[in-house]
Structure 1
Amino acid sequence: MRTIRFLLQKEFRQIFRNRSILAMVIVMPIMQLLILPLAANYEVKNINIAVIDNDHSSYSQKLITKITSSGYFKLTGYCFSFKQAYRLIETDTADLILEIPHDFERNLIRENEQKLFVAVNAINGTKANLGSVYLLNIIQDFNAEIRLQFIQPVRFNPQPVIDITSSNWYNPMLDYHVFMVPGILAVLVTMVGGFLTALNIVKEKEVGTIEQINVTPIKKYHFILGKLIPFWILGNVVFTLGLLVAWLVYGIVPVGSLFLLYGFIAVYLLAVSGFGLLISTFCESQQQAMFVMFFFIMIFILMGGLFTSIDSMPEWAKTVTKFNLVSYLIEIMRMIILKGSSFKNIVPQLGVIAVFALVFNGWAIFNYKKTS
């Protein structure tokens, strides 16, 4: 313990002397947690639409007004031909084209049916898919309003009617901040715990102090623990600051136990810091360690369930996510903070993370070459 205490004093002095590390640990996560949830929005708005109104009737004007007043669409072109509207798509001025045919109102009244033409710019698949769905729902709603004007409701409906009443659990207002903030906080904790530890041992190699440490009677596990514990503490500090920002800015208060949440974070930081130290033992420079860690962090984030649901991934990707540390933390953060899950609900994920922590740290100790 006395040896580890001296190593910790050395590490903390180096950390507090380096202002860039303090900025990365304190300022950067807070700024990212304030900005990223505002940009990571699943709701698509301001979809540019071009309209070709060949009917110029009261019904076509009502439909156009209903579309533009929905809050999702912005009329960027009122064209007289499809060729003219198509140029707006080619120049990225419009995302959708709606063409209203001739005799739109007359056919609705006389024939009780009419067809509309919709062309979608599908370069941005997400925006195209959601935009077409929004437009279809608005047209269906408009169609229901028109039918009510001509169909006299009977006293008794001859067909059975099923009424569906839905309730939104854990996020009643469907606020995307409630869903995104815990996931983004999980990524920030991973970046601090993983990146800084990955740069630690190689920094000793670059400045030459690793040779002085190698000739001392310090054990390998003493050295690894001395590198691990400071950033484990800093990871908990980042997590605490993140919870404060989530509470003060977004009004998110954990429904579950804070003690359980910190307990899982403690084990998780051991795993991700051990992973960073393992990378650091293989690399010879900070630049090399940074690129290797960046490679893994990108995979962790994109395949961690933050932006894309793991259930919608192909089977091979689901298998890869079983080895993704971030996917477990994002799942547990949402379970405890939003659902209020108890200890028995997180035992499987906690067991997997504990195994990762033992493997990565044990491997880092074994791989660290110490000469005496």
Structure 2
Amino acid sequence: MIRYLIQKEFLQMRRNAILPKIFVILPVVMLLIVPYAANQEVKNLTFCVVDNDHSTLSRRLVEQVAASEYFNLTAVTADYASAMAYVEAGSADVILEIGPRFERDLVAAGHADVGVSANAVNGVKGALGQAYMLQIIADCSARIRAGRGLGVSDVSVAGVDVRPRYLYNEALDYKVFMVPGIMAMLLTLLIGFLPALNIVGEKERGTIEQINVTPVGRFGFIFSKLVPYWCVGLFVLLWSVLWAYLIYGLAPAGSLWLLVVASLIYFLVVSSLGLIVSNYSSTIQQAALLMFFFLVIFILMSGLLTPISSMPEWARALTYVNPLRYYIESMRALYLKGSTLADLLAPLLAMVAYAAVAWAWAVASYRKSS
């Protein structure tokens, strides 16, 4: 009986004119567009210059900032008030104010007064813009001092040689970090939304009454509903892995089999949640609205777009009941760090516990008399 119910689900899925195309096209479109749309790099910042020195070195500093890929020069103003007018008008993000004794102090003392003011309406953009500007100024100062035989900095004189190493993402490419998270979000949308619309769709069509008169039990009915979506999720996962490699050259640094195992556990979690919503809903609109509400919360509190460590303490506590958090952690660890089963034991056990509870709830919430 269960075998025929599973065949029925696959037939219904195949007869749908849209779903098979979505399974093939949506992963490609999302991997092509979303990593560029969700760009976490800050570039093309505009800046104004208040040059109170008008020296060779001050002009060299301005030229070096303008030549970077992060900044575009808007204007050189006579005073700070004029530069602020550009910021208030939205034409400048950062103000670079060079002191009147910049060249003299830099040559004589090795340091000079430079002011950097950033528009912090967008806090992340302002902080990164200021950090980029300060780094460029420090590099320019080091080059000037080295060119004049003055030593690079007091740090190097003290005998400390700092050489940063960027582990797991040496090129600092945000797409390497975002693509695994986008794949997790895509699978959540597909494997969560579609089961949520399944049972309630049969309620609206009246076909649920035919199931109610059959001897199939609750466990078998729920199992037959979820198996097709697990197969779809596995296809979408492997299809996304292939396209992530073709588009970005990104392949899992860890075991592909472990990636599949973690994904199958997560499929059980999110598909069971979808069926729970479907069991408690009377119409497709109710199910879609409820599932959309939960998915938005899951995505926003998963660490996909913002670090969990940056959230308030109460929000960090809530993320522990978010299954997407554990799946994204596992995906990123497998893709970037090449983590092993021992490394992923904690998030995998959390997803297993979540899956057991969600599966039991999905079975218990289904009533054949509904």
Output the TM-score relative to the length of structure 2: 0.92
Q: Which amino acid aligns with 1:353?
A: M
Q: Which amino acid aligns with 2:48?
A: A
Please state how far the C-alpha of 1:148 moved relative to its aligned partner: 3.9
Cα offsets for 1:15-58 (capped at 9, x unmatched): 11212222332211220011111233322110111122233221
Whether the 8 Å contact between 2:107 and 2:145 is mirrored in structure 1 is: no
Corresponding position of 2:301: 303
Name the CA distance, whole Å, in 1 between partners of 2:258 and 2:214: 39
Whether the 8 Å contact between 2:74 and 2:92 is mirrored in structure 1 is: yes
Cα 1:59/1:273, change in 2 over 3 Å: same
1:65 aligns with 2:63: yes
Name the CA distance, whole Å, in 2 between partners of 1:25 and 1:44: 33
Structure 1: 5+ residue stretches without partners: none
Q: Which amino acid aligns with 1:258?
A: L
Please state how far the C-alpha of 1:245 moved relative to its aligned partner: 0.5
Whether the 8 Å contact between 2:116 and 2:133 is mirrored in structure 1 is: no
The partner residue of 2:332 within 325, 331, 334 is 334
Name the CA distance, whole Å, in 2 between partners of 1:354 and 1:158: 52
Pairwise mapping of residues 48-197 of structure 1 onto structure 2 (< 5 A)?
48-109=46-107, 114-148=112-146, 152=150, 160-197=158-195
Whether the 8 Å contact between 1:52 and 1:100 is mirrored in structure 2 is: yes
Q: What secondary structure is seen at the aligned counterpart in 2 of 1:122?
A: coil
Cα 1:99/1:317, change in 2 over 3 Å: same
Q: What secondary structure is seen at the aligned counterpart in 2 of 1:32?
A: helix
Pairwise mapping of residues 279-298 of structure 1 onto structure 2 (< 5 A)?
279-298=277-296
Q: What secondary structure is seen at the aligned counterpart in 1 of 2:344?
A: helix
Please state how far the C-alpha of 1:159 moved relative to its aligned partner: 5.8
Structure 2: 5+ residue stretches without partners: none
Please state how far the C-alpha of 1:160 moved relative to its aligned partner: 4.2
Cα 1:174/1:277, change in 2 over 3 Å: same
Name the CA distance, whole Å, in 1 between partners of 2:222 and 2:2: 10
Please state how far the C-alpha of 1:113 moved relative to its aligned partner: 5.1
Which range moved further: 36-45 or 192-201?
36-45
Corresponding position of 2:34: 36
Name the CA distance, whole Å, in 1 between partners of 2:93 and 2:359: 51
Q: Which amino acid aligns with 1:22?
A: P
Name the CA distance, whole Å, in 2 between partners of 1:110 and 1:167: 33
Please state how far the C-alpha of 1:84 moved relative to its aligned partner: 3.0
Corresponding position of 2:369: 371
Pairwise mapping of residues 200-211 of structure 1 onto structure 2 (< 5 A)?
200-211=198-209
Name the CA distance, whole Å, in 1 between partners of 2:91 and 2:156: 48
Cα 1:104/1:254, change in 2 over 3 Å: closer
Name the CA distance, whole Å, in 1 between partners of 2:235 and 2:110: 66
Cα offsets for 1:112-140 (capped at 9, x unmatched): 65423332111111110000011111222
Output the TM-score relative to the length of structure 1: 0.91
Cα offsets for 1:324-368 (capped at 9, x unmatched): 111111111122222222222222222221121121121111111
Cα 1:133/1:165, change in 2 over 3 Å: closer
Name the CA distance, whole Å, in 1 between partners of 2:6 and 2:156: 79
Please state how far the C-alpha of 1:184 moved relative to its aligned partner: 1.0
The partner residue of 1:315 within 302, 313, 329 is 313
The partner residue of 1:234 within 232, 235, 247 is 232
Cα offsets for 1:208-252 (capped at 9, x unmatched): 222232233221122211211111111111101100011111111
Which range moved further: 181-190 or 81-90?
81-90
Corresponding position of 2:349: 351
Cα 1:152/1:16, change in 2 over 3 Å: closer
Q: Which amino acid aligns with 1:318?
A: R
Name the CA distance, whole Å, in 2 between partners of 1:158 and 1:187: 46
Corresponding position of 1:9: 7
Cα 1:177/1:271, change in 2 over 3 Å: same
Q: Which amino acid aligns with 2:189?
A: M
Which range moved further: 124-133 or 47-56?
47-56
Q: Which amino acid aligns with 1:195?
A: F
Please state how far the C-alpha of 1:108 moved relative to its aligned partner: 4.3
What RMSD over aligned residues (CA atoms) do the two structures have, in Å?
2.3
Whether the 8 Å contact between 2:151 and 2:157 is mirrored in structure 1 is: no
Please state how far the C-alpha of 1:149 moved relative to its aligned partner: 5.2
